[in-house]
Structure 1
């Protein structure tokens, strides 16, 4: 079989489940499941059958019956195999007791693809205690621990009593998969490893996967050579995933040798279906404990796994209850407030003895709603929080984001890492402009590694840089900055809960605003219709008043001058009233009209308006200048009305200046086209600035000029229907400039 060369490019892919060898304290025979013909066999079987292993490939296991399986007939072996296959495991069968050359052995059966693996290992053990009888007392001692740390310490002590290894450690995997010794019991002459950290590469991912499948693992003697497995199935190595004799990676063997460890034994600790950690046992002389002792130790590990899972859940639940209590109080406050304004929601989150900062173990929080920032506790500055919010808006892929190493992700945060090395943020709106952010301060930590965690490399015979397990395990300290305490699942869960409550309150507010807008729109449309109807109906009686007055003037010769003056005022008033009604009708039509956006030739439109206005004024005093006229998009009739009104006003209110100067010009800027209409007329009093676009509002200095006070209101309405903007600049006695900005479609 080919040897797998481990180097820096593939150490995480080393196929440790198919090493092609077994540990030498036992031997292996694999048979095809249906025929029981031998497909794989370890070379060291020759020590027991006094024949070359290769000679037995292809033969039936029954041919070795008398030598390997005395007292077990072919029929009985078939029954055992079929029972295991039917049960999908051989746990109820293993181990089977037998004798080889007069010595007691265990037969352990496992399945590997289409093969049944028969492994033989001695029943003799280096233990001088009955492990199975010790379990009950040890389990009781373990479970007396009041908290998780106490349980782990008790477990290390009791397991050391049972298996009598020189050192027993409980090793916990962290989120980044590096490990830490969290409990230890050792012989007095050994230096402590308690609190030391080991890099994830010490136990690569494929090894961690095997620890999940096989809950115990023994390495009896690191100084013995493993025995190769031979087969005629060239290129198809035997999968030893479930084997008890599986050989050890040469890298790991060298690692143990460098530590001075001669034998090791491990028990897997599983919590919530994941590898929580290991009970790692080291001995500094070769040591072997048999299958039954290992199974008893596995039972202790399973009980310990359940206990630590329960205690961890219990501690997590206590934290969750405390955080939920705060969240529930805030939720009740959000639901009880009848007002759903943004300020009320912010008040529910930030006011009172309990606020949104209390739903995590952070040091502070920031709330951004309706563009207003509110802060609680210890946080970065307002400017820094806005900067963080901008980064989150650009980078948040989901509705929630958290990290305990924010300065490593967002380098400007290094300036305020003392306050915000950790952030947890939840978005409240689809565009992410509204959010809540929690902060955790920097926790400068000194991590003590068991030697330099960087795996050294050295050139091999072929020149490839080969991994070389570190030789020194002296404490190597690393100072970790820009890091906070991690955000727990309980904190994230509570934040998600309060987020739903806040979103519900925001949506409730949005629904109420929508209903209010619908009512306003209905009232607006009704008022519009009312205005149109009244204005239209007024024209008939008004026409009658004017007609009768003109008839009297034309036919009644007996009228004196006073009567004629009164009738002329009636006619003039009727004309003025008629013009006002016409303007109101125009105003109403704008509200009801639908806009069709088309490209407008502004050169032609403004030229036509200018010609019409100048013909009406017929003033030699007027200087009307037209500059650039870039095209815009809109309704041609309405835009004509806008420019007619504005240019006419500019000419009218500058008519008493000498000369009267009016200028119309446009320019394109980025996404908009801006037109300006300027004059040097009477200007607008600053006290009237807020009323310029209101209906029927006219300035005191404009009362001598003809007008209705409706024109600019119509202009404003048309501009808004075009999603455009209008504003002005003016100084009393110096003139006015109106600006209109149209979007470039």
Structure 2
């Protein structure tokens, strides 16, 4: 037999974020563990079996689980464990857990979960140390928790109700920041305990891999920090560590145990709070005496966390929607003003709605058409001049933002009170034209639970003094040179505003920005050159492919040679596709528009029908709404819809339930079509570059594509004097909007 106790590298605060906490090789000893394979053969079990089953056979490994039936579940039907597993596999183990059974006549909970091809059978006592009937209290507690619509009061109510339900000494709502550090934002505690409200804890206290596990295990109990964990035994031939990600009994990192001991905490219990499938925070509960909470009570407490998560998501989405509507209204009004006023500078800066209304900024600068217009609180002219030089030299993206400008640009320390935060939207880098917004310094005094830059002391055993802190006395830190963060809604607003400004500039190009004839000729020559080169590349490429195919017919070639030839053949196909895409891209400007009334209903129905065949999805996954007619070139418009809809289908295929929605609206000025999916989404930082040639997002993986399709779509839409923009968040899907002007 072999102990599975984790023998990983010694963990200290320099590498605790790589500690393999999902394979500890031990369990908490208030219960015991048996692991079986698909044939119900015992492959692992915890060392403490004998403490719960005194007469158990010492040599269980390799035996069938049914051999334990007289001891485990003496009143259950034969083969009951396999029946539970079958039901769990069909309906989800959350529906079968816990199963009430007995060990030698004593009530136990059986909790089943999976680990690769194994099934974890965890047995815990069915009685809790808590004298409170958690399940009876839960309904009333949830009602009281949700009674107040104010978010801070909601969080406070939650802490109070969880404390009432589980009876721990201190209950905190702990929120994670973007950098992983956390803050106590609500608490309920025994009166004699000091308050920890407002205290911050560094990210190393709950490292990244622990935060990932909290997304899987929505509740986590440490019943007694002084209890020795029980090792896991397997046979000598099985050296692979047992993945205990889904385990309730999984032992706790020694670093975290020491951390709790240093705080004087004897037992802890946590409930995960989620926002859009990401970890928002925890309901963290501390008891200064050991406490065991049975599975049913933990599951009831988890319900509080899930309801609070839903409430948080609803409140946050409601707040985001209000912001989005406010910014959208401002951008819409600015768009109308730009199209109405021949002077774009005047439209953006000299009306009741200005650039400042597009975001929550206190100052803005428009650098446009050889002039600089300032709004609100901005740096001095000399400081702006230096800042613009830095932007020209260092910012190559069309979109940039920071909430710590003095860190990025040291001279900004001189005006940090006005501009510690900056957002830049580049209109034309070549002409040095920008829209810049500023946020002032937001001085913060951060209260840490001990110095976050804590020293590490390690005793002779390498463990006893490893902890985030031995002292938890409040330690204050004043943060300077930072502003309030730019929100996702502000980012989306600025991306859309840039699109509207570009559109307005293009609309007025004939009057205010006539292109130099020489530049126009050079552009046409470059376009012709691109077309010719791409066309001429097809002949040698066809030769390469032909020779590769001839060689592939030679049956005497070695397998490795065949594999190389297949890769050459595949590479030739891929290059041929890219050349065709470039030819299409180059051809658009050469084609004359054939404007007709287009009825997209038939066109889109055919595209959807083809896509359902190609990708094997149900037509019910694609919803087609209102389909107003529009003016355009039928061939080009078909290419636009085919590209956008196929992208929506492709990038939502990996979701559990792909959903694509296509809908059109119209008013007296324009027809707008939207294509929405629930797929991969786009990182907000990459939104400004989505329509650039050969730009593919980092998260597309092996999904086919060349990065040319959206560039073609944008060219077609611009040729129709239309607009296209996208609203997306990573993991939340995308909405592409296409606006076609109505022609008189």
Q: TM-score range by the shorter chain?
A: 0.5 to 0.7
Task: Tell me the secondary structure at the aligned position of residue 181 of structure 1.
Answer: strand
- Tell me the TM-score normalised to structure 1 length: 0.66
Q: Structure 1 residue 164 and structure 2 residue 167: aligned?
A: yes
CA deviation after TM superposition for structure 1 residue 252, in Å:
0.4
- Provide the rounded CA distance (Å) in 1 between the counterparts of 2:515 and 2:453: 65
Equivalent of residue 246 in structure 2, options 242, 245, 251? 242
In structure 2, relative to structure 1, the CA distance for the partners of 1:80 and 1:462 (3 Å cut) is closer
1:138-173, Cα deviation, whole Å (9 max, x unpaired): 111122222211111111111111111111100001
In structure 2, what is the equivalent of residue 292 of structure 1?
Answer: 296
Superposed, which structure 2 residues align to 1:128-139 within 5 Å? 128-139=131-142
Superposed, which structure 2 residues align to 1:233-312 within 5 Å? 233-312=237-316
Q: Which moved more, 1:390-399 or 1:186-195?
A: 390-399
In structure 1, what is the equivalent of residue 126 of structure 2?
Answer: 123
Superposed, which structure 2 residues align to 1:195-206 within 5 Å? 195-206=198-209
Contact 1:363 1:377 in 2 (8 A): yes
CA deviation after TM superposition for structure 1 residue 247, in Å:
0.5
- Provide the rounded CA distance (Å) in 2 between the counterparts of 1:221 and 1:381: 61
In structure 2, relative to structure 1, the CA distance for the partners of 1:390 and 1:373 (3 Å cut) is same
- Provide the rounded CA distance (Å) in 1 between the counterparts of 2:422 and 2:185: 27
Task: Tell me the secondary structure at the aligned position of residue 17 of structure 1.
Answer: coil
In structure 2, what is the equivalent of residue 105 of structure 1?
Answer: 108
CA deviation after TM superposition for structure 1 residue 462, in Å:
8.2
Contact 2:363 2:376 in 1 (8 A): yes
Q: Which moved more, 1:320-329 or 1:124-133?
A: 320-329
CA deviation after TM superposition for structure 1 residue 303, in Å:
0.7
CA deviation after TM superposition for structure 1 residue 520, in Å:
14
In structure 2, relative to structure 1, the CA distance for the partners of 1:129 and 1:7 (3 Å cut) is closer
Contact 2:258 2:464 in 1 (8 A): no
Contact 1:6 1:466 in 2 (8 A): no
CA deviation after TM superposition for structure 1 residue 49, in Å:
2.5
In structure 2, relative to structure 1, the CA distance for the partners of 1:465 and 1:171 (3 Å cut) is closer
- Provide the rounded CA distance (Å) in 2 between the counterparts of 1:332 and 1:304: 42
1:152-197, Cα deviation, whole Å (9 max, x unpaired): 1111111111111111100001111111111111110000000100
Task: Tell me the secondary structure at the aligned position of residue 96 of structure 2.
Answer: coil
- Provide the rounded CA distance (Å) in 1 between the counterparts of 2:519 and 2:419: 46
- Provide the rounded CA distance (Å) in 1 between the counterparts of 2:477 and 2:201: 12
Q: Which moved more, 1:52-61 or 1:308-317?
A: 52-61
Contact 1:258 1:469 in 2 (8 A): no
Equivalent of residue 336 in structure 1, options 340, 364, 375? 340
Q: Which moved more, 1:356-365 or 1:245-254?
A: 356-365
CA deviation after TM superposition for structure 1 residue 72, in Å:
3.0
Equivalent of residue 83 in structure 2, options 70, 79, 93? 79
- Provide the rounded CA distance (Å) in 2 between the counterparts of 1:459 and 1:79: 49
Q: Which moved more, 1:455-464 or 1:309-318?
A: 455-464
CA deviation after TM superposition for structure 1 residue 473, in Å:
0.6
Contact 1:127 1:163 in 2 (8 A): yes
CA deviation after TM superposition for structure 1 residue 250, in Å:
0.4
In structure 2, relative to structure 1, the CA distance for the partners of 1:73 and 1:455 (3 Å cut) is farther
Task: Tell me the secondary structure at the aligned position of residue 59 of structure 1.
Answer: coil
In structure 1, what is the equivalent of residue 212 of structure 2?
Answer: 209
Contact 1:455 1:467 in 2 (8 A): no
- Provide the rounded CA distance (Å) in 1 between the counterparts of 2:111 and 2:431: 60
- Provide the rounded CA distance (Å) in 2 between the counterparts of 1:520 and 1:72: 86
In structure 2, relative to structure 1, the CA distance for the partners of 1:465 and 1:8 (3 Å cut) is farther
In structure 2, what is the equivalent of residue 41 of structure 1?
Answer: 45
- Provide the rounded CA distance (Å) in 1 between the counterparts of 2:493 and 2:69: 64
Please tell me whether Structure 1 or Structure 2 has the larger radius of gyration of its CA atoms.
1
1:121-142, Cα deviation, whole Å (9 max, x unpaired): 0111122222222222111112
In structure 2, relative to structure 1, the CA distance for the partners of 1:277 and 1:464 (3 Å cut) is closer
In structure 2, what is the equivalent of residue 582 of structure 1?
Answer: none
Contact 1:449 1:476 in 2 (8 A): yes
Task: Tell me the secondary structure at the aligned position of residue 225 of structure 1.
Answer: coil
Task: Tell me the secondary structure at the aligned position of residue 132 of structure 2.
Answer: coil
Contact 1:428 1:436 in 2 (8 A): yes
Contact 1:54 1:231 in 2 (8 A): no
- Provide the rounded CA distance (Å) in 2 between the counterparts of 1:181 and 1:236: 39
Contact 2:171 2:187 in 1 (8 A): yes
- Provide the rounded CA distance (Å) in 2 between the counterparts of 1:67 and 1:127: 27
Equivalent of residue 186 in structure 1, options 178, 185, 189? 189
CA deviation after TM superposition for structure 1 residue 464, in Å:
11
In structure 2, what is the equivalent of residue 739 of structure 1?
Answer: none
CA deviation after TM superposition for structure 1 residue 334, in Å:
0.9
In structure 2, relative to structure 1, the CA distance for the partners of 1:390 and 1:466 (3 Å cut) is farther
Contact 1:108 1:119 in 2 (8 A): yes
In structure 2, relative to structure 1, the CA distance for the partners of 1:229 and 1:497 (3 Å cut) is same
1:686-731, Cα deviation, whole Å (9 max, x unpaired): xxxxxxxxxxxxxxxxxxxxxxxxxxxxxxxxxxxxxxxxxxxxxx
Structure 2: where are the runs of 5+ without partners?
Answer: 522-744
Q: Which consecutive segments of 4 or more residues in structure 1 shift more than 6 A?
A: 462-466, 514-522
- Provide the rounded CA distance (Å) in 2 between the counterparts of 1:253 and 1:90: 29
Q: Which moved more, 1:43-52 or 1:272-281?
A: 43-52
CA deviation after TM superposition for structure 1 residue 467, in Å:
4.0
CA deviation after TM superposition for structure 1 residue 78, in Å:
1.6
1:539-598, Cα deviation, whole Å (9 max, x unpaired): xxxxxxxxxxxxxxxxxxxxxxxxxxxxxxxxxxxxxxxxxxxxxxxxxxxxxxxxxxxx
Task: Tell me the secondary structure at the aligned position of residue 458 of structure 1.
Answer: coil
Q: Structure 1 residue 314 and structure 2 residue 318: aligned?
A: yes
Superposed, which structure 2 residues align to 1:412-427 within 5 Å? 412-427=411-426
Equivalent of residue 59 in structure 1, options 46, 58, 63? 63
Task: Tell me the secondary structure at the aligned position of residue 221 of structure 2.
Answer: strand
Q: Which moved more, 1:313-322 or 1:40-49?
A: 313-322
Q: Structure 1 residue 369 and structure 2 residue 368: aligned?
A: yes
Contact 1:171 1:280 in 2 (8 A): yes
In structure 1, what is the equivalent of residue 329 of structure 2?
Answer: 325
- Provide the rounded CA distance (Å) in 1 between the counterparts of 2:463 and 2:370: 59
CA deviation after TM superposition for structure 1 residue 515, in Å:
6.6
- Number of paired residues? 515
Q: Which moved more, 1:44-53 or 1:507-516?
A: 507-516
CA deviation after TM superposition for structure 1 residue 14, in Å:
0.4
Contact 2:13 2:468 in 1 (8 A): no
In structure 2, relative to structure 1, the CA distance for the partners of 1:216 and 1:502 (3 Å cut) is same
In structure 2, relative to structure 1, the CA distance for the partners of 1:511 and 1:126 (3 Å cut) is farther
CA deviation after TM superposition for structure 1 residue 50, in Å:
2.5
Task: Tell me the secondary structure at the aligned position of residue 185 of structure 2.
Answer: strand
Task: Tell me the secondary structure at the aligned position of residue 438 of structure 1.
Answer: strand
CA deviation after TM superposition for structure 1 residue 371, in Å:
2.5
1:598-656, Cα deviation, whole Å (9 max, x unpaired): xxxxxxxxxxxxxxxxxxxxxxxxxxxxxxxxxxxxxxxxxxxxxxxxxxxxxxxxxxx
Equivalent of residue 11 in structure 1, options 12, 16, 21? 16
Contact 1:407 1:413 in 2 (8 A): yes
- Provide the rounded CA distance (Å) in 1 between the counterparts of 2:108 and 2:136: 21
Superposed, which structure 2 residues align to 1:678-689 within 5 Å? none
Q: Structure 1 residue 90 and structure 2 residue 93: aligned?
A: yes
CA deviation after TM superposition for structure 1 residue 319, in Å:
2.6
RMSD value, Cα: 2.3
Contact 1:7 1:466 in 2 (8 A): no
Task: Tell me the secondary structure at the aligned position of residue 235 of structure 1.
Answer: coil
Contact 2:400 2:425 in 1 (8 A): yes
Task: Tell me the secondary structure at the aligned position of residue 71 of structure 2.
Answer: helix
Contact 1:30 1:41 in 2 (8 A): yes
Contact 1:456 1:468 in 2 (8 A): no
Q: Which moved more, 1:432-441 or 1:65-74?
A: 65-74
CA deviation after TM superposition for structure 1 residue 463, in Å:
8.4
- Provide the rounded CA distance (Å) in 2 between the counterparts of 1:464 and 1:150: 41
CA deviation after TM superposition for structure 1 residue 506, in Å:
1.5
CA deviation after TM superposition for structure 1 residue 51, in Å:
5.5
Superposed, which structure 2 residues align to 1:586-625 within 5 Å? none
Contact 2:335 2:504 in 1 (8 A): no
Contact 1:43 1:52 in 2 (8 A): no
